[in-house]
């Protein structure tokens, strides 16, 4: 792994070494005080210039450097990995490609034991064109099924679940639309019999509304997945289905009241309009709350009444956000993760890169009762960490 740090300090260190060599030569050639002064002035000017350049362009990512809150070696913890809107990897559009997807999954499986990755969430839009282009489902399957490789103590691989996004159905956004590919590769029959699979709404083969159960370090969790059903899409919105699914979901959460609950749906939160991190990395300040979408409002207003819900995860709208909802003495963290609009690290307006292969890891530090959120690009030869405050941050875990 590369040990480079993309920051002004790295540039200045390199320049310092170069200057020391230059100084030795220059001093041997130009022995007068005047020339020495000119050399020092030139050096100072270049250092200041590079400092500004580094702050502007190179402090976006840090490589292999701890960014989150400090953790003692004996702290008890586990991680949940979040995959977001991989549609341009499977769709191979806007610079996205399958290598980005593979790098994400391969990093998760390679680090599952070290990082204690207990579960993986995909927040939806795993494909770009759904059943219109079945080959995209084949690509999605090839990537996601790598999580199913048996690992020590995990005969079915790492537990995971996939939400249904608007791009995963045809017509786009129709909750009653075609989901042939999703049902084939990520439907109920594929997961049935696995110890972490809970079940689907009305025992549907489609699995578009389902729940999973897992345990990590002595804590028990339920993850409830809800289909994309947007009131803004008036031609497709199904209010009756929404009510039935929400009532079913609330009943499931009540039956598993001893488990901490995470609700996952593609469309819950949109980023703050002033956040620059929607398309550019390295520019965010402490996670901005964002605003609820219409579907998000319905979800939070229903499931905040379930006492075991402490977190909601979503994608759909490019950007990052975290909104805390206080209700009856509890705090529900709603976290948006979506990088489909991200550009290459040079961040020119025309340099969109399909999501850059960005992965999010949520560390549950049980000893300190802190949630550490980490955002990074896993690549074959290096790890690029996003160092800004809405990409790497820490908040209280359950309150």
Q: What SS3 string covers 39-69?
A: HHHHHHHHHHHHHHHHHHHHCCEEECCCCCC
65 or 215, greater pLDDT = 215
Are residue 126 and residue 36 in the same domain, yes or no?
no
- Confidence band (pLDDT; 50, 70, 90) for 261? very high
Residue 5 has pLDDT above 80, yes or no: no
pLDDT at 349: 52
Residue 220 lies in a domain: yes
Average pLDDT over residues 129-142: 98
* Average pLDDT value for the chain: 83
Report the range of poorest mean pLDDT among 2-16, 89-103, 207-221, 276-290. Answer: 2-16
Note the pLDDT of residue 240: 98
Within-domain flag for 64: no
Q: Has residue 68 got a pLDDT over 50?
A: no
Of residues 362 and 10, more confidence is placed in: 362
C-alpha closest to that of 7 among 46, 37, 50, 70 = 50
**Are 134 and 38 found together in one domain?**
no
| 223 contact partners, CB below 8 Å, separation of at least 6 | 119, 121, 161, 211, 212, 213, 214, 261, 262, 263, 264
On whether both 29 and 172 belong to a single domain, the answer is no
Q: Is the dihedral of CA 286, 291, 293, 298 positive or negative?
A: positive
Q: Is residue 65 part of a domain?
A: no
**Which domain does 15 fall in, by range?**
8-58
Domain identity same for 215 and 332: yes
- In angstroms, rounded to a whole number, what is the distance separating the alpha carbons of residues 140 and 181? 10
More confident residue, 366 or 22: 366
Counted domains in the chain: 2
Looking at residue 151, the DSSP 8-state letter turns out to be B
- Are 22 and 158 found together in one domain? no
- 101 and 86 Cβ atoms separated by less than 8 Å: yes
Q: Are residues 106 and 158 in the same domain?
A: yes
Please indicate, yes or no, whether residues 88 and 45 belong to a single structural domain of this protein: no
Mean pLDDT along residues 221-229: 99
156-172: pLDDT as tens digits: 999 999 999 999 999 99
The answer as to whether 119 is a domain residue is yes
| pLDDT confidence of residue 350 | 60
One domain, residues 40 and 138? no
Unique residue bearing structure tokens 């999010």:
360
- Of 379, 298, 383, 355, give the one whose Cα is nearest residue 123: 355
Higher-confidence position of 4 and 222: 222
- Per-residue pLDDT of 177-190, as tens digits, reads 999 999 999 999 99
372 bridge partner residues:
363, 394
pLDDT at 195 over 80: yes
- Kindly state whether residue 63 falls inside one of the protein's structural domains: no
Instruction: Report if residue 88 sits inside a domain.
Output: yes
Is residue 149 very low, low, confident or very high in pLDDT (cuts 50, 70, 90)?
very high
H helix runs in 145-293, sequence order: 180-186, 188-191, 239-255
**Strand ranges inside the chain, DSSP E:** 61-63, 77-83, 117-122, 160-162, 197-200, 210-216, 219-226, 260-265, 269-270, 291-292, 309-314, 319-327, 330-338, 359-365, 370-378, 383-386, 393-396
pLDDT tens by residue, 85-113: 999 999 999 889 999 999 999 999 999 99
- How far apart, in whole angstroms, are the C-alpha atoms of residue 267 and residue 288? 17
Residue 28 confidence (pLDDT): 40
Same domain? For 48 and 100 the reply is no
Rounded to a whole number of angstroms, the CA Rg of the chain reads 24
Residues 243 and 204: their CA atoms lie apart, in Å, by 17
Q: What is the pLDDT of residue 33?
A: 47
Q: What is the pLDDT of residues 346-393, one digit of tens each?
A: 545 566 677 889 999 999 999 999 999 999 999 988 898 888 888 889
pTM attached to this predicted model? 0.82
Domain match, 121 and 46 both: no
170: DSSP letter: B
Domain assignment present for residue 1? The answer is: no
pLDDT above 90: percentage of residues in the chain: 66
Calpha distance 199→192 (Å, rounded): 8
pLDDT bin (cut points 50, 70, 90) of residue 72 is low
DSSP lists the bridge partners of residue 370 as 365, 396
Separation in Å, CA 202 to CA 187, 244, 267: 13, 10, 22
Question: Is 151 part of any domain?
Answer: yes
More confident residue, 32 or 210: 210
- The answer on 381 and 277 residing in a single domain is yes
Do both 250 and 108 map to the same domain? yes
Q: Which CATH number belongs to the domain containing residue 273 in this structure?
A: 3.60.21.10
Structure tokens at 193: 């019999």
């Amino acid at each position: 792994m590369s040990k480079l740090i993309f920051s002004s300090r790295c540039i200045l260190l390199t320049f310092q070494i170069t200057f020391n060599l230059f100084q030795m030569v220059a001093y041997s050639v130009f022995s007068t005080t005047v020339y020495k002064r000119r050399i020092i002035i030139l050096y100072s000017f270049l250092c200041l210039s590079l400092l500004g350049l580094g702050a502007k362009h190179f402090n976006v990512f840090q490589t292999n450097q701890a960014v989150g809150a400090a953790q003692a070696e004996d702290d008890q913890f586990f991680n949940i990995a979040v995959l977001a809107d991989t549609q341009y990897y499977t769709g191979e559009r806007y610079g996205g490609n399958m290598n980005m997807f593979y790098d994400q999954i391969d990093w998760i499986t390679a680090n599952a034991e070290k990082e204690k990755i207990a579960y993986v969430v995909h927040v939806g839009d795993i494909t770009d064109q759904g059943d219109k282009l079945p080959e995209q489902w084949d690509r999605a399957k090839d990537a996601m099924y790598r999580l199913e490789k048996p690992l020590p103590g995990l005969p079915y691989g790492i537990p995971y679940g996939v939400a249904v996004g608007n791009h995963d159905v045809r017509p786009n956004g129709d909750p009653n639309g075609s989901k042939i590919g999703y049902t084939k590769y990520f439907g109920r029959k594929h997961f049935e019999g696995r110890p972490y699979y809970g079940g689907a709404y009305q025992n549907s083969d489609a699995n578009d509304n389902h729940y999973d159960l897992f345990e990590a370090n002595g804590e028990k969790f339920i993850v409830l997945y809800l289909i994309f059903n947007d009131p803004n899409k008036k031609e497709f919105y199904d209010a009756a289905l929404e009510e039935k699914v929400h009532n079913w979901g609330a009943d499931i959460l009540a039956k598993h009241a001893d488990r901490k609950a995470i609700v996952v749906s593609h469309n819950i939160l949109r980023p703050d309009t002033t956040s620059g991190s929607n398309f550019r990395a390295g520019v965010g300040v402490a996670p901005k709350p964002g605003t609820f979408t219409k579907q998000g409002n319905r979800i939070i207003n229903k499931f905040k009444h379930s006492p075991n819900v402490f977190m909601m995860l979503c994608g759909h709208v490019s950007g990052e956000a975290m909104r805390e909802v206080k209700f009856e003495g509890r705090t529900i963290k709603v976290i948006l993760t979506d990088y489909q609009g991200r550009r290459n690290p040079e961040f020119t307006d025309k340099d969109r890169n399909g999501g850059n292969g960005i992965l999010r890891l949520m560390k549950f530090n049980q000893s300190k009762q802190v949630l550490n959120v980490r955002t990074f690009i896993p690549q074959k030869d290096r790890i690029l960490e996003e160092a800004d405050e809405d990409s790497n941050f820490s908040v209280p875990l359950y309150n």
